[in-house]
Amino acid sequence: MSAAVALVVAAVAWSALQPFWSDVAGTAKEEVVSVDSSTREALLEAADRFLETDPDRVGSYALANDRPDLSPRVFCHEEFIEVRRKSSQLLLGIVAACEELARSGTLLVGGSGYRTSLLLTVESVDGRLTIRQVEEASDGDLNVPSVREMFSPRGAPRALELAATGSDMHSVVREEAREAFGLPADADVTYITDLESTSSPRP
């Protein structure tokens, strides 16, 4: 193999290893606005409150339908991507990890869950931030087309990166659930199918 061919092969191999999101640019046109830390926190709290309690989202989860006796709750953790302005409303771009969790004895029981990019339309109503609409990445191809439409040029690659690699977000969700249910920090996580059969945790 010539040196030139070897260099081409090496370049192709290196390119294949690059994160798919690195060259993706969002196409949303609204103005990206800077927000201070307190405003960012308030926006994330509003998103968290909505995602954990919205009946249209929560009511269809597995434990809510199959094991309501466990009194399951939805816990979420959100990572901030950007805020854009649209008339009198704000568009909050986040990546959210949510899981439906419950307590059964000394176990943390898992049901439905997801991690995805979201675009929330936020409005201030009587001084309270209110979520008016949620747009969710919902197409194929690793959600790239819809994420590009939902985020600014710089926001889209960050959203794709977090959705692909943010598994630690679920650890935060489960820590919050253990604390809420009064379970120790090392309480095992099991799932409804395991609970009904062997009651042994998934590896």
> How far is the C-alpha of 115 from the C-alpha of 162, rounded, in Å?
9
Q: With pLDDT > 70 as the criterion, what percentage of the chain qualifies?
A: 82
Question: Which tokens sit at 111?
Answer: 């049901």
Find all residues with CB under 8 Å of 32, minimum gap 6, and list them.
82, 83, 84, 152, 154, 155
pLDDT in tens, 120-169: 999 998 889 999 999 998 876 668 889 999 999 999 999 999 998 899 99
Of 3.10.450.630, 1.20.1050.10, 3.40.190.10, 3.40.50.960, which CATH number belongs to 30-196? Answer: 3.10.450.630
Interval 26-67: pLDDT, tens: 889 999 999 999 999 999 999 999 999 988 877 678 899 889
Phi, psi of 106 (to 5 degrees): -100, 10
The domains of the chain are located at 30-196
